[in-house]
C-alpha cells in the first residue's frame, strides 16, 4: 500500500545530509507516487507495515538496517531506531547481489521514514471495540492491528474520550476510513495529523474535506502540491499536519483543522529497479490497471497472482505488489492478496491426503493447510494431524483457486460461535457469496445489519451499499450442524459519507 511520503527535509550534517538527499529531493507528480522525495532513480523502494525484527521486515521483505538513517514525523533524521511492529514505513535502499532466480540476495535500507495516518484525541469508540473515530476518520481494527502497551490494558475501550491523544499507523481504505496497523499513545509535542483522499476542494476558499473533517489550508505550506497538473485536488491522497483543530463537537462531526502543511502521498521516486508496496486499491481504470493511493499499478500477461486472480483487483482489495517502478508506474511482476478471510466454526471434515478441511456452516469452502500455516492452540496443537472432527477452529487465510489457504490456524475451547469475514464476490438480497460459500441472511434481524462505524443501517440500506469487493463480517451461532446467522457488518466501505 503505498504509504505516505513522509515529507520533510530536516537537516542532517555532512554525510548524513548527503545520504538523505540522495533519496529525497524534488517532488514527482502525484500520479507518479507524489510527495517530496525526488524523481531520481533508486535501486529498491518498499512501503508497508513493519512485520518482523532481526534486521527489519516490511510487508515480509527483509532489509539490513545496520546503517539506516531514520526519519520519524517532524523530528530530525538520525541513526536512532524507534521502529515498532505495525508502523507503516517507507524504505529507500539498495540491493546487493542476486540469487539463482536473478532476485536480489540482500537489501540494504538507507533511509526509513515514518509518519502516522492520524493523530488526535479520540472522539468516539464503537460499542464492539472494533473501531473508533478521531478527526472525523473511522479507524478500524482487525486481527493484525498492534495495540501498543502504552494503551491501558492494550484495549481501546480503556481510552478516555476527548482526552487521550493517540497515534494511528495504517492504510487508507476509503473516504474517511483507515485500517489501523498500530495504535499507540502520543508521547511527543501535541499536534494533529491526518491522511486521506481530498474531496470538495475549493480553490478560492482554500479548503477541502477528508471524511467529515474540513481542512483550511489558507496558511499552509503547499509547495509539494504544486506538482499536481489540475487546479482541483479532488481524488488526491494527502498527508495533512496542523496545530489547531476546533473539535467540531461530538462525532461524527469533525470541525475544521487549520493545516500548516499539505503533501501528496507517494514513494519519493519515479524509478526503481525493485518496488514492493502494500495497500488498498482506490481506483480501477480497467482490467489490471489500478491505483493504490496515488500510484498507478499495471499488470501484464506475465504477472503472477497469489491468493486471487486478475478479477479480484477491485476497489478495496488489499494487495502487496512487487515489480519495477518506471516513469511513476509500477509494472507488477507479482500481486499478492492480503487479509482477505477469517473463519470460525467446528471442523466438519478432514482430508489427510491433501491436508484440507471444511467447517460447519461454510458450504463450498475448502481450507488448505501448507508448510507456511502457523498452527497452535488448545492441547498443544502443532500439526494438521493433531486436528480432530468437531474441533473449534479460528482460521485466518487468503483465497487460492477454489479454496482458502490458511495462514494461521488456532484451536480454541469448544464454542457455538461462528464467524465468516472476507471479500464479497456477489450480493443479491438476501444472499451473499464469499469465497464460493452462499450465505442466506434472511434470518438476520433488520437491526443487526450494521455499517462500518457500528451504527445500524438495516437490511435494505446494507444491500444498497454493498458491492463486490467490499469486506464484510458475518456472525452467528451453531445449533447442531446448522448455523443461525445473527449479524452482518460492513468492514471496509468505499466512499460511504
The answer, yes or no, to whether residue 423 has pLDDT greater than 90, is: no
Q: What is the pLDDT of residue 263?
A: 95
Question: Residue 395: is it exposed, middle or buried by C-beta count within 10 angstroms (0-12/13-18/19+)?
Answer: buried
Domain extents in the chain: 1-338, 341-490
Q: Which of 304-308, 333-337, 397-401, 444-448 has the lowest mean pLDDT?
A: 397-401
In this prediction, residue 433 has a pLDDT band, given cuts at 50, 70 and 90, of confident
For domain 341-490, the question of CATH label 3.90.1300.10 is answered with: no
Give the pLDDT confidence of 454-468 residue by residue, as tens digits: 789 999 999 988 866
Average pLDDT (34-45) is 54
In this prediction, residue 106 has a pLDDT band, given cuts at 50, 70 and 90, of confident
The whole-model pTM stands at 0.69
> Who wins on pLDDT, 25 or 385?
385
Determine which helix (DSSP H) or strand (DSSP E) holds 16, and give its type and residue range: helix 14-23
The answer, yes or no, to whether residue 418 has pLDDT greater than 60, is: yes
The answer, yes or no, to whether residue 2 has pLDDT greater than 70, is: no
The answer, yes or no, to whether residue 495 has pLDDT greater than 60, is: no
Instruction: Report percent pLDDT > 70 for the chain.
Output: 86
In this prediction, residue 307 has a pLDDT band, given cuts at 50, 70 and 90, of low
Average pLDDT (246-268) is 84
Give the pLDDT confidence of 151-201 residue by residue, as tens digits: 999 999 999 998 999 999 999 988 899 989 999 998 777 889 999 999 999
* Rounded Cα gap, residues 74 and 334, in angstroms: 34
Instruction: Report percent pLDDT > 90 for the chain.
Output: 60
Average pLDDT (204-214) is 95
Tell me how far the alpha carbon of residue 63 is from its chain's centroid. 21
* Rounded Cα gap, residues 77 and 91, in angstroms: 14
Q: What is the pLDDT of residue 254?
A: 83
Residue environment code for 142-180, b if the CB has 16+ CB neighbours within 10 A, otherwise e: bebbbbeeebeeeebeebeeeeebbbbbbbbbbbbbbbb
Give the pLDDT confidence of 25-35 residue by residue, as tens digits: 333 333 323 33
Amino acid at each position: 500500500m503505498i504509504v505516505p511520503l513522509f515529507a520533510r527535509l530536516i537537516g542532517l550534517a555532512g554525510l548524513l545530509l548527503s545520504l538523505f538527499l540522495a533519496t529525497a529531493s524534488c517532488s514527482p507528480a502525484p500520479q507518479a507516487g507524489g510527495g517530496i522525495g525526488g524523481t531520481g532513480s533508486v535501486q529498491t523502494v518498499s512501503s508497508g507495515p513493519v512485520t518482523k525484527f532481526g534486521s527489519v521486515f516490511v510487508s515480509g521483505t527483509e532489509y539490513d538496517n545496520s546503517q539506516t538513517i531514520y526519519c520519524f514525523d517532524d523530528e530530525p533524521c538520525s541513526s536512532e531506531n524507534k521502529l515498532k511492529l505495525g508502523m507503516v514505513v517507507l524504505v529507500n535502499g539498495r540491493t546487493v547481489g542476486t540469487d539463482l532466480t536473478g532476485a536480489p540476495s540482500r537489501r540494504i535500507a538507507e533511509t526509513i521514514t515514518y509518519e502516522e495516518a492520524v493523530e488526535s484525541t479520540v472522539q468516539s469508540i464503537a460499542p464492539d471495540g472494533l473501531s473508533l473515530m478521531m478527526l472525523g476518520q473511522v479507524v478500524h481494527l482487525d486481527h493484525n492491528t498492534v495495540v501498543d502497551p502504552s494503551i491501558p490494558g492494550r484495549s481501546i475501550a480503556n481510552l478516555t474520550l476527548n482526552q487521550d491523544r493517540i497515534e494511528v499507523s495504517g492504510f487508507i481504505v476509503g473516504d474517511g476510513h483507515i485500517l489501523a496497523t498500530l495504535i499507540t499513545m502520543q508521547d511527543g509535542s501535541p499536534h494533529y495529523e491526518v491522511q486521506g483522499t481530498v474531496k470538495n476542494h475549493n480553490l478560492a476558499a482554500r479548503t477541502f474535506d477528508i471524511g467529515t473533517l474540513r481542512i483550511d489550508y489558507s496558511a499552509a505550506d503547499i509547495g509539494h502540491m504544486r506538482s499536481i497538473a489540475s487546479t482541483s485536488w479532488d481524488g488526491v491522497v494527502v498527508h495533512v499536519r496542523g496545530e489547531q483543530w476546533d473539535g467540531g463537537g461530538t462525532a461524527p462531526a469533525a470541525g475544521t483543522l487549520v493545516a500548516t502543511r499539505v503533501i501528496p502521498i507517494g514513494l519519493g521516486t519515479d524509478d526503481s529497479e525493485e518496488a514492493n508496496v502494500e495497500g488498498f486499491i482506490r481506483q480501477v481504470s480497467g482490467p489490471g490497471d489500478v491505483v493504490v493511493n496515488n500510484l498507478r499499478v499495471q499488470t501484464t500477461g506475465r504477472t503472477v497472482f497469489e491468493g486471487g486472480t486478475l478479477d479480484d483487483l477491485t476497489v478495496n482489495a488489499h494487495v502487496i505488489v512487487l515489480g519495477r517502478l518506471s516513469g511513476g508506474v509500477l509494472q507488477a511482476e507479482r500481486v499478492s492478496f492480503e487479509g482477505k478471510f477469517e473463519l470460525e466454526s467446528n471442523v466438519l471434515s478432514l482430508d489427510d491426503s491433501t491436508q484440507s478441511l471444511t467447517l460447519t456452516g461454510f458450504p463450498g469452502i475448502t481450507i488448505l493447510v501448507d508448510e507456511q500455516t502457523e498452527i497452535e492452540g488448545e492441547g498443544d496443537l502443532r500439526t494438521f494431524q493433531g486436528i480432530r472432527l468437531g474441533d473449534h477452529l479460528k482460521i485466518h487465510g487468503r483465497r487460492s483457486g477454489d479454496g482458502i489457504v490458511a495462514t494461521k490456524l488456532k484451536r480454541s475451547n469448544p464454542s457455538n460461535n461462528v464467524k465468516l469475514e472476507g471479500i464479497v464476490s456477489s450480493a443479491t438480497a438476501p444472499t451473499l457469496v464469499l469465497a464460493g460459500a452462499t450465505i442466506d441472511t434472511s434470518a438476520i434481524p433488520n437491526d443487526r445489519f450494521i455499517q462500518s462505524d457500528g451504527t445500524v443501517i438495516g437490511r435494505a440500506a446494507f444491500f444498497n451499499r454493498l458491492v463486490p469487493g467490499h469486506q464484510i463480517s458475518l456472525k452467528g451461532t451453531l445449533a447442531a450442524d446448522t448455523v443461525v446467522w445473527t449479524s452482518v457488518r460492513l468492514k471496509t466501505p468505499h466512499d460511504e459519507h
